[in-house]
Structure 1
Amino acid sequence: MSNQYEHLELPVINITLPKRPKRGFGSGGKRDDRPTHGSKLLAQASSLTSLTPKKSTPFGINPKLIFKIKLRKNDSLEENNLSSLGLNLLAKEPKASQAIVVFSSDNELKIFREKLKSYSGLNDSNYEYGYLDAIEDIVPLEPEDRIGRLLELKPLENDEIVPLDLELWHTGNTDEMRDYLRKLDEFLQSFKEYPGMKITDQYISEYFCTARVKLNKKILELLLKEDAVKEIDRRPKPAFESAGEINIPISDLPEVISPLESVCGVLVIDSGIQGGHPLIGVALGDAQVFPDPGRKFIKGEEEDGDETGGHGTGVSGIAVYGDVSACIKKKQFQPPVWLFSARVTNENNEYDPDLLLDKQLEAAINYFIGNYPNCKVINISLGDSNLVYRSGQKQFRLAARIDEIAYKLQNKNIVFVISAGNYYYDSESKELIRRDYPKYLLSEDARIIDPATSAIALTVGSLSMGKGSTQYHEDACRNVVAKVEGYPSPFTRSGFGVDGMIKPDLVDFGGDLVIDGNRMIDNEIGASIITVAKNYQAGSLFKAYCGTSFSAPRVANIVTQLFSKYPNSSSNLIRALITNAAGLPTEIPGLFKIKTKTKAKNKAKSKAKNKENTKLDMNKILQVYGYGHTNFVQAAYSTDNDVVLLVDNEIIEVGNFKIYEIPSLPPEFLDTKGNKKISVTLAFDPPTRHTRGDSYLGVAMEFQLFKNIDIEAITRAFQKAQDENKDNPNEDIAELTMEELKKKYGSSVIVDLQPGVNLRKKGTLQKGQIEFTSKTWKYNQKSMYLVVSCNRKWAREGEIDTQRYALVISVSHSDAKVDLYNKIRLQTQTRISERSRVR
């Protein structure tokens, strides 16, 4: 085994490349029929104002006028243009819809209509307002636009009064939002013939205004017509896995010692914890319940409320020990992390119908983060299987709240770890699960669920351990589905996520399914994950589970250990380190491969047929595996033949670039036979907004790696691309620069990292790598350069002008005798020393 070393610092080149120009308002060109088109828009605007009530709504509220502006294809309207029209941007629909939602406090739309008249040539104004060319139509919102996905799937019955989630368009005035909810509550409670209708909980933040409301179908129909209402939906339900009992008695359980006070802790938000378990109590820092105010729904205290399965206890056991099966085999239990537990469900694994889950979530997080500075990781193995992400949709509310909390708590450096959710293939016969596996995992129905779409969290899918049934293993009709270690679990969910970002981020072991004839058996011993049991006093100390709920805490355990090793690191660095260490399993199902053919070199001398090869289908791979399966040792340490260079808490100006130098690689890196790998991982935590369909992220970042070229040439290319395209600000300067460099210096100057930049740049966690065996890789033995760029999306200039991030670069060789670490270390020390003297 190679020696273990501390990671190296990545040298920064103190050159700032030119800023990118600001984006314009569209590229559709001037309309030839402005008078006719403007008159149409005027008529549509007039139609809107005629529908606007001159008096209060049934709730006694003066509503804002909210409507849709449909845009011409490939066009957009900037917020400063909207402000000049007397309009305020509320949301942008996904690009496929080409629409924005706006509101106005002017019921007559006077400013908007006056400028439409100028645009149409109907008054004597000298201004043309050409940006109005981007508008295709002006239309009102319909009640159907305000119905959430769960409510759409299950509409209200005539007789029922049920708790629903109400979200309002946030105007930016919290007092106004609070007043609206107060008046709405008074209105609901005024119906004596419908007792029980009221607001039971509410949450108002900078971007969110949500409430839990009890109402009937009649009032729902009224609310769906309210301009201020963004969405009404049924409340989410938690998705838990059930547990199977495993009888592995341990009579000689060794003494278990509490973790050191200095190590970090993980908060498990779930059904609670059985703190009396001998393997849990020693690591339990604190456990709390976050019940309804009257404790009528969530009864009891912090103990695990899942009476049948002990879901929270099972998740917690893995969060503390990681691989519990390995601990059992070694008969060694030494918890490397502290555990904190927040119970948010009742004995039936249900959320309180009267409380907002996102409010419970934030209350739990604020309590533990506020009281325990070493609580750095938050594991959420809950999800709503009815809220399946579909391509082109906007972000789910709970996932958006998690991102908002992560951004707000940047100074605390918290990492969220969330399970991808479980998908159970709905087939006529359970036998078809085995036949159709793994194809169905790529279906729309198998996409990740809320809150796994969180952009800043680590989303974790599940792998099979490659173990079979331990019961009736000779029975021909009884078999596991995946069978092979590292194959995707038959129940895991796939990506992509919001705006096409790579999700899940990682995978870990979560178990397999057993099919017995037409029966599906989960949580069976042998094919499942082993963890601690809630009801240990009545049976075994351990139980078997399967599900992504139990793959997520394995990753959370590694994240927590990394924080203990790097206590001063940012959450971005931890995410980058754990992702840099991830890789694909050795065995991959054939579905994830593409067949290719290689022609015989000399057909005259050989009768051999064309050779058939395979390569990985990266699109499918990323959907199911993300960046792969990780491990603590590789994330925490460099070795002789695997060197990691990193920088943390870097700050970049939005619209700017930075350059980093990777010292020259030693000749033996290419000359020695074996597998060579270079990877780059970037992690950043931008502002997010779930109402934006054009870009969920307010700031975007990307990177490109160059070789066989000097730094001056890279700088000149970026400058040239900017100068030549100053009149066309919608062009991507980075992409134009790449084309310019390839044209002038050849394609070998750009390192072809996979996945490509256009796919990886969609997320907040980006990894690109190149892997090869050939000695003929074109490389001039000089330094390589990494260019990192930061682009503005909807984040306003003057409010958000910088973005923090972390970078991790690794260079590795499969031959342990290749000494990369010491040779690269000497060069990095020299570079850093030289630049220190310059400063």
Structure 2
Amino acid sequence: MSGPLLEEEWNKVGLTLLSSDEDRTLVLFSSSDELAEFRRKLTAFGDGAPPGQINPSFAGFIANIESIGEVAPRDRIGVRAREAGLVDVEDFQPGTAYVIDIELWDIGRRELRERKVDDIVRYAEARGAQELDRHVGPNLTLVRLRCDGAVARTLLTIEEVADLDFPAEPDVTSAERIDLTLDDLPDLEPLDDEAPLIGIIDSGINDHPLIEDIIVGSIAIPDTLGTADDHGHGTFVGGIATFGDLRAQLAARTLNRHARLCSAKIIDSTGNFPTNRLTPRLMREAVTRLNAEFGCRIFVIALGDRTKVVENGKVGPWAQTLDELVRELDVVIIVAAGNRQPRHGLHVEKAVTEYPAYLMESANRLCEPAGGLNIITVGAIAHGTGLNARAQDNVGVRAITEAFEPSPFSRAGPGAQGAIKPDFTDIGGTLIYDGPNAALQGGEVHREAGVISLHYRPIDRLFAARSGTSHAAPLVAFKASQILAQFPDASANLVRALLAGSATIPEEASHRLAPLGATAEFALCGHGQVDSERASFSDDARVVLYAEDELAIDHFAIYQIPIPEAFQTVRGRRTIRVSLAYDPPVRHSRLDYSGLSMDFRLIRGCNSDLVFEHYRQRTQAEGPVPDMENRFNCKLTPGPTLREKSSLQTASVTFSRDISAYGDSYFLVVRCAGGWAGDTGQQGFAVTIEISHEAEIALYERLRQRIRVRL
């Protein structure tokens, strides 16, 4: 297809969509060889426009079809086989034995698929193959064979075969790391007393031997809860917040902490809030006390209300309270997007066969408080397949994801008033399909499927594994703390802007989500995965300029951006990326949740007088604002319609040709527009500009002097 996939239109002509790929290739199945209705529409389209019509009949459907053909045998070769160099049928060598997994299309009733598996196995066994395992479920049909390459070549020609691939390789090292003892661990590096502080608002944090010396304080609300973690969630979240990727550290034989911890216990051993406190009041007390008593400025709230999802851009009192606290206290609050088990019961196999389409279902929207505007919301991507050793022996144990693809449980935006949410995504583990048990299982059952962090009962075990967006959120807090370590006086807005300016959506996620349309990337990954090194440092060929400032409503600021000659003329891809963060007043009872709005434009090729004249306020007598030529306005992506719904915005423009005609100075215009919050006074904000060149040219020295002009 060259346009929309139009699944409903295909259904109308008797065709069932079996699969869709990122290049908009569809695989369709028909129960009839005649395809009568489809042929009728093709003929009507080919006859041209009927009298009185501009376009041929069914043009919206047929014109989007680029080409039609049959599935070729080479199209059935799976990813792992292709990665091993077997990209064509002839690459399977006669005389060489292969262990292969064959998946059939979901083409009908279970009995029909069972008969087809029997036929395939009888044929293969007659040619010397051996059946090792099979799984026939409500939607998933798999068989594992050991066979000669000549047999594999023939099996690739069978129409009902969807995929022929090598079995996945399990991750056996994760389980080994979880079973490490203190004697097995490398020396624990000391942490500076001035290291950033992260507040964990959860089930408490226990005195685990790997963090007991860096817990600066703990509170409980109410006090009767006690501060000990008897649920396990808080200690696990805290371990990620200070260690980051503990799996990678253990593999590298290092143990480095990067942040100190403080804790507010607000849930009991069953994972529930106290019944005698309203949730917004509970949140306000926890954040304000940790801020006042310990000076904490980064908070992780890896909790959510899955019974309340963001609908029609409306959020609740919990989200509003957190957004207010960000503005009042100048703090960074990081929350999880929330989790959802994608399929249950008889439909559990569809978690494999319908991935990732179900991630965009309305039931999978963000849950409260993840839709908030000023807080940072984090979704999850997988670290890999999550398969364990059992997958080697059981064809019915199947992966859903590959590395850096959206986790099957992660929820989707948008957030309040249609804002891009989640803001970021990071590693949160995955789920696997356990065919023999007809269940989806994460790190809590299969260690390899989860994120590794600290066990809340270290006497029993030092480490544990879990899957969830709750474990991606503290990873972003870990990265935020590294920014604060470099810029201890930075505002919360600057921390947010630097995070956004460093984030990119993993290519693997982009490819997997491409069939779902352009909005799916933002809805599940936001601005992407944060690169903490990129957020905290410049280098020779990549420079970040920043400003922290204030604007009154209906005012604007202009920043003059020096553009070195080498950036203008040296061949190669050159990028300017702008990020803006502000913390407006909010009110959840209003459709226009934010009390004011801010935006930015990047102008080039003209002088500052023209820019000032274009953006200044005018009296009614002066008439409308004069147009500015499009050539002066850098076309940033994403565009203003999408990005300006958010209080955290980032967009970029890339050049590949000589741009010296536009001069050596660009102008960044930041505007503040009024809404219902007319008495706000000055609105604080932070803006960052990253200027980078793919060639190794010395931009940093040429850009050390920042030039700023303000109205």
Do residues 706 (structure 1) and 623 (structure 2) align?
A: no
| Residue correspondence of structure 1 range 327-406 to structure 2 within 5 A | 327-373=249-295, 375-392=296-313, 394-406=314-326
**Counterparts of 1:550 and 1:290 in 2: how far apart (Å)?**
23
- 1 CA distance for matches of 2:537 and 2:633? 28
| 1:366-515 correspondence to structure 2 within 5 Å | 366-373=288-295, 375-392=296-313, 394-409=314-329, 413-427=330-344, 428-474=346-392, 475-483=394-402, 485-515=403-433
| Other structure's SS at 1:593 match | helix
Distance 1:776 1:652 in 2: 35
Shift of the 712–525 alpha-carbon distance from structure 1 to 2, 3 Å rule, reads same
Instruction: Tell me if the contact between 1:618 and 1:755 (Cα under 8 Å) persists in the aligned partners.
Output: no
Closer, same or farther: CA 771–466 of 1 in aligned 2, 3 Å = farther
Secondary structure at the residue paired with 2:459? helix
After the TM superposition, which residues 251-400 of structure 1 pair with which residues of structure 2 at under 5 Å, given as runs? 251-275=183-207, 277-291=208-222, 295=224, 298=225, 301-306=226-231, 310-373=232-295, 375-392=296-313, 394-400=314-320
User: Structure 1 residues 446 and 776 mapped into 2: Cα distance closer, same or farther (>3 Å)?
Assistant: farther
Matches within 5 A, 1:86-165: none
Given residue 600 of structure 2, which amino acid in structure 1 is its aligned partner? F
Q: In the TM superposition, what are the counterparts of 1:196-275 in structure 2 within 5 Å?
A: 246-275=178-207
* Aligned ranges 1:793-832 → 2 under 5 Å: 793-796=675-678, 799-815=679-695, 817-825=696-704, 828=705, 831=707
SS in 2 for 1:741: coil
Q: Report matched runs for 1:494-573 at 5 Å.
A: 494-517=412-435, 518-523=438-443, 524-538=446-460, 540-573=461-494
Question: Quick one: distance in 2 between partners of 1:508 and 1:367?
Answer: 28
Q: CA deviation at 1:250?
A: 4.6
Q: How far apart, CA to CA, are the structure 2 residues paired with 1:258 and 1:396?
A: 42
User: TM-score with structure 2 length normalisation?
Assistant: 0.71
Aligned residue for 2:546, secondary structure, equals: strand
Q: SS state of the match for residue 382, structure 1?
A: coil
> Using CA pairs below 8 Å that are at least 6 residues apart, which structure has the higher relative contact order?
1
Equivalenced residue count is 531
Q: What is the deviation of 1:587?
A: 1.8
The answer as to whether partners of 1:434 and 1:481 remain within 8 angstroms in 2 is yes
The one-letter amino acid paired with 1:521 is Q
Q: 1:690 aligned to 2:588?
A: yes
Conserved? CA contact 1:665–1:781, under 8 Å: no
Q: Distance in 2 between matches of 1:703 and 1:777?
A: 21
Structure 1 residue identity aligned to 2:299 = I
Question: CA 1:256 to 1:667, structure 2 compared with 1: closer, same or farther past 3 Å?
Answer: closer
The equivalent of 2:514 in structure 1 is 593
Quick one: percent identity of the two aligned structures?
Answer: 29
Indicate how the Cα distance of structure 1 residues 778 and 755 shifts in structure 2: closer, same or farther if over 3 A, else same.
farther
CA contact (8 A) 1:283 1:320 kept: no
Q: Which amino acid aligns with 2:339?
A: N
Out of 650, 662, 667, which is 2:566 matched to? 667
Name the CA distance, whole Å, in 2 between partners of 1:391 and 1:642: 40
Q: CA deviation at 1:651?
A: 1.2
Distance 2:186 2:643 in 1: 47
- Judged with a 3 Å threshold, the aligned counterparts in structure 2 of structure 1 residues 431 and 708 are, in CA distance, closer, same or farther, namely same
Q: Distance in 2 between matches of 1:685 and 1:696?
A: 12
Change (3 A) 1:691 1:643: same
Post-superposition offset of 1:291: 2.4
Q: Does the C-alpha gap of structure 1 residues 402 and 342 become closer, same or farther in structure 2, counting only changes over 3 Å?
A: same
Shift of 1:354: 2.1
Q: Distance in 2 between matches of 1:756 and 1:397?
A: 30
Secondary structure of the corresponding residue to residue 536 of structure 1: coil
Within 2, Cα distance between the matches of 1:458 and 1:755?
Answer: 19
Superposed CA RMSD? 2.4
Q: CA deviation at 1:723?
A: 5.2
For 1:709 and 1:448, the matched residues in 2 are separated by 43
Structure 1: stretches of 5+ with no match in the other structure: 1-242, 595-615, 728-732
C-alpha displacement of 1:668: 4.8
Distance 1:641 1:576 in 2: 20
DSSP 3-state at the match of 2:363: helix
* Distance (Å, rounded) in 1 between the aligned partners of 2:360 and 2:635: 26
Identify which of 532, 554, 560 aligns with 1:632: 532
CA contact (8 A) 1:669 1:820 kept: no
CA distance 1:710–1:724, shift in 2 (3 Å): farther
1:468 offset after TM fit, Å? Answer: 3.4
CA offset digits 1:195-214 (Å, max 9, x no partner): xxxxxxxxxxxxxxxxxxxx
2:649 aligned partner: 766
Q: CA–CA distance in 2 between the matches of 1:771 and 1:725? A: 40
- SS of residue paired to 1:491: coil
SS of the aligned residue for 1:574 comes to helix
Instruction: Choose which of 576, 584, 587 in structure 2 pairs with 1:678.
Output: 576
CA contact (8 A) 1:528 1:545 kept: yes
Which residue pairs with 2:521 in the alignment? 621
| C-alpha distance in structure 2 between counterparts of 1:589 and 1:633, whole Å | 22
| Superposition deviation, residue 504 in structure 1 | 0.5
Summarize the Cα distance change of 1:662–1:494 in structure 2 as closer, same or farther, 3 Å threshold.
same
Q: Determine helix, strand or coil for the equivalent of 2:389.
A: coil
Q: Structure 1: how far apart are the matches of 2:621 and 2:374?
A: 33
Deviations 1:199-248 (A, max 9, x none): xxxxxxxxxxxxxxxxxxxxxxxxxxxxxxxxxxxxxxxxxxxx999423
Offset at residue 526 of structure 1 (A): 2.1
**C-alpha offsets along residues 305-330 of structure 1, whole Å, 9 cap, x if unaligned?**
21xxx111111100111111122123
1:545–1:712 Cα change, 3 Å:
same
Quote the Cα distance in structure 1 between the aligned partners of 2:205 and 2:294. Answer: 18
Q: Give the Cα–Cα distance (whole angstroms) in 2 for the partners of residues 669 and 328 of structure 1.
A: 45
- Relative to structure 1, the CA distance from residue 291 to residue 561 in structure 2 (aligned partners, 3 Å threshold; closer, same or farther) is same
Q: Show CA shifts across 1:173-198 (max 9, x none).
A: xxxxxxxxxxxxxxxxxxxxxxxxxx
Q: Decide which of 647, 660, 663 is 1:781's aligned counterpart.
A: 663
1:613 aligned partner: none
CA contact (8 A) 2:356 2:513 kept: no
- Does structure 2 conserve the Cα–Cα contact (< 8 Å) formed by 1:346 and 1:352? yes
Shift of 1:725: 8.4
Post-superposition offset of 1:780:
2.2
Cα offset, 1:655, TM superposition: 0.6
Q: Please tell me whether the aligned partners of residues 257 and 282 of structure 1 are also in contact (alpha carbons under 8 angstroms).
A: no
Structure 2: which 5+ residue stretches go unaligned?
1-173
